[in-house]
């Protein structure tokens, strides 16, 4: 439970897709003129991330990782299928999943809920090129998210992080229309600069929740080491064949 909570807050604030790792910037900047459209795109991003991250997690676990193919022929320890490393395919697999899901979602929504389709409209196909989506899957892989539940959590929460970011900038942009911004900076220019400032603000989350388990000071380091020493070293001493 606690790991779910930690991952949830970490993906929304500490590792915010927009302000901390700067992914999905293009649609973030291009579609944030109005709050209403920003909400539509944000919701679509949450939805697609929530589906593609767990799907790609399954692909990664049972197809791509080294040793992941062990289920195919029941082999273990690097023989037969389990020795194969299809890691070089991960980019293309992830992208195919994302593009397929986006296209599928588009077709399904169009068929069963034309009103929702109209309100999302052009934003759905745009999501496929949103690098926050692929970034979500790649982070899931490189950070070694451990369970399916955590993968769902990660997809949803990083989507929420992106949603909050685009909502915030859209609200600011609506307000700033009434401010006296120098003409050449109006629109895109000032949005870049505000995003930069918000990114600096989000740096302050950086110290939170990072590397928690490594930072816990082991109260009795000697005792801990003794244990490792006695257990393993005894075994080592017994069967030792070290040529020294």
| Residues between 146 and 175 with contacts to other proteins, criterion CB under 8 A | none
The answer to the question of residue 212 lying near other proteins (CB under 8 A) is no
Q: Does 195 participate in binding other proteins (rule CB under 8 A)?
A: yes
DSSP string across 33-86: SSHHHHHHHHHHHHHHHHHHHHHHHHHIIIIISTTTTHHHH---TTSGGGG---
CA distances (Å), 237 to each of 82, 200, 227, 232, in order?
33, 55, 15, 9
Q: At closest approach, how far in Å is the CB of 23 from other proteins?
A: 6
Applying CB under 8 A, does 192 fall inside the site for other proteins? yes
Q: Does 209 bind other proteins (CB under 8 A)?
A: no
* Contact status: 197 vs other proteins (CB under 8 A): yes
Provide the minimum distance between the beta carbon of 54 and other proteins in the complex, in angstroms, as a whole number.
19
Applying CB under 8 A, which of residues 39, 43, 131, 167 lies at the interface with other proteins? Answer: 131
By the rule CB under 8 A, 242 interacts with other proteins = yes
Q: Give a three-class secondary structure readout of 120-167.
A: HCCHHHHHHCCHHHHHHHHHHHHCCCCCHHHHHHHHHHHHHHHHHHHH
Nearer to other proteins among residue 65 and residue 119 (C-beta): 65
Q: Which of residues 9-38 bind other proteins (CB under 8 A)?
A: 22-27, 29-30
The Cα 117–Cα 22 span in angstroms is 28
Contact 221, 22 (CB under 8 A): no
The total of other beta-carbon atoms located within 10 Å of residue 163's CB is 22
Q: How far is the CB of 144 from other proteins (least distance, A)?
A: 7
Site for other proteins in 92-111 (CB under 8 A): 92, 95-96, 98-100, 102-103, 107
Using CB under 8 A as the binding rule, whether residue 67 contacts other proteins is answered as: yes
Give the distance from CA 228 to its chain's centroid. Answer: 36
User: What letter does residue 209 receive in the DSSP assignment?
Assistant: T
* Nearest approach, Cβ of residue 59 and other proteins (Å): 15
> Which C-beta is closer to other proteins: that of 43 or that of 131?
131
Determine contact, residues 54/155, Cβ cutoff 8 Å: yes
Q: Which two tokens stand for residue 179?
A: 């401010």
Give the interface segment with other proteins, choosing from 38-46, 84-92, 149-157, 166-174 (CB under 8 A): 84-92
Q: Does 80 bind other proteins (CB under 8 A)?
A: no
Query: Residue 241 interacts with other proteins (CB under 8 A)?
Result: yes
């Amino acid at each position: 439970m606690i790991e779910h909570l930690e991952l949830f807050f970490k993906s929304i604030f500490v590792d915010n897709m927009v302000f901390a790792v700067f992914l999905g910037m293009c649609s973030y900047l291009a579609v944030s003129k109005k709050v209403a459209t920003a909400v539509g795109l944000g919701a679509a991003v949450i939805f697609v991330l929530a589906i593609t991250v767990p799907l790609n997690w399954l692909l990664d676990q049972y197809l791509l990782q080294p040793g992941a193919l062990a289920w195919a022929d029941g082999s273990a320890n690097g023989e037969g299928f389990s020795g194969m490393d299809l890691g070089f395919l991960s980019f293309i697999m992830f992208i195919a999943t994302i593009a397929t899901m986006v296209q599928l979602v588009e077709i399904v929504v169009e068929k069963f809920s034309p009103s929702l389709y109209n309100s999302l409209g052009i934003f759905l196909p745009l999501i496929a090129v949103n690098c926050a989506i692929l970034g979500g899957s790649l982070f899931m892989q490189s950070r070694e998210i451990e369970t399916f539940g955590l993968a769902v959590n990660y997809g949803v929460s990083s989507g929420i992080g992106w949603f909050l970011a685009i909502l915030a900038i859209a609200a600011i942009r609506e307000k700033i229309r009434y401010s006296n911004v120098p003409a050449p900076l109006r629109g895109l220019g000032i949005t870049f600069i505000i995003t930069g400032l918000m990114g600096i603000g989000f740096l302050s989350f950086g110290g939170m929740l990072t590397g928690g388990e490594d930072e816990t000071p082991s109260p009795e380091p000697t005792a801990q080491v003794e244990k490792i020493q006695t257990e393993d070293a005894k075994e080592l001493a017994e069967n030792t064949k070290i040529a020294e």
